[in-house]
Amino acid sequence: MKTTIKFLSLILVIVLTSQIASAQVKSDYDKDADFSKYKTYTFAGWAEGSDDSVNDIDQKRILSAFKAELDARGMTKVDTDADATITLFVSVDQKTSKTAYTDYNGGLGYGGRWGYGYGYGYGGGSSTTTYSEVDYNEGTLVLDMYDSESKSLVWQGVVTAVVKTKPAKREKDIKKKISKMMKQFPIAASK
């Protein structure tokens, strides 16, 4: 019984941890927009406050990952007269993950077994509850793509994920999360 409870507790911790580690992606787009007409784009900059949340190195990584994804969709970055304008917004929030599980060690028991309901008994046993908290940073990255001519929003992608603390892992993670977001872009990447 003790082994079963420990195993189920471990499964619960793994499930909760995997939910924290996975990226949540959402997107929306203008159903009337003709995305085949967007051949060029310009980067209009980071939304106010994003500079405070992301260092210069990670900003370059994010821009590079988006450039690679848009290049794969036949779009070219230009400085002026682009078909589409892109802005980015980033926010980072500190979060806390809380987990608790209880180990129960059953004891001896006797009395009142046959339904009399008034027996004497000894029901020794013990339980231990383990509680833990883990602090982590959760980042949200929003890409807004506007039609440069009409100035209307045509696509928005949002990815929310745990921010990796090690720079080498963060570099790989940024590419993966942006790739996951761009899979929802109306134009698929060419292979």
Nearest CA to 178 out of 6, 25, 2 is that of 25
pLDDT at 143: 95
pLDDT band at 73 (very low <50, low <70, confident <90, very high): very high
- Give CA–CA dist 130/115, Å, rounded: 35
Amino acid at 88: L
Chain CA centroid to CA 27, Å: 14
Residue of 126 and 189 predicted with greater confidence:
189
Helix 56-71 crosses helix 167-182 at what angle (to 10 degrees)?
30
pLDDT of 16? 42
Q: What is the pLDDT of residues 9-65, one digit of tens each?
A: 444 444 444 444 578 999 999 999 999 999 999 999 888 877 777 888 999 999 999
Q: What is the pLDDT of residue 109?
A: 52
**Per-residue pLDDT tens for 114-127?**
555 555 555 566 77
pLDDT of residue 12: 40
Where is mean pLDDT largest: 53-62, 95-104, 131-140, 150-159? 150-159
Quick check: helix, strand or coil at residue 128?
Answer: strand
| Candidates 3.40.50.720, 3.90.1170.50, 3.30.160.670, 3.30.43.10; CATH matching 18-96+136-182 | 3.30.160.670
pLDDT on residue 3: 54
Q: What residue segments make up the domains of the chain, in order of their start? A: 18-96+136-182
By DSSP bridging, strand 84-106 and strand 125-147 are antiparallel
Ranking 102-106, 137-141, 153-157 by mean pLDDT, the lowest is: 102-106
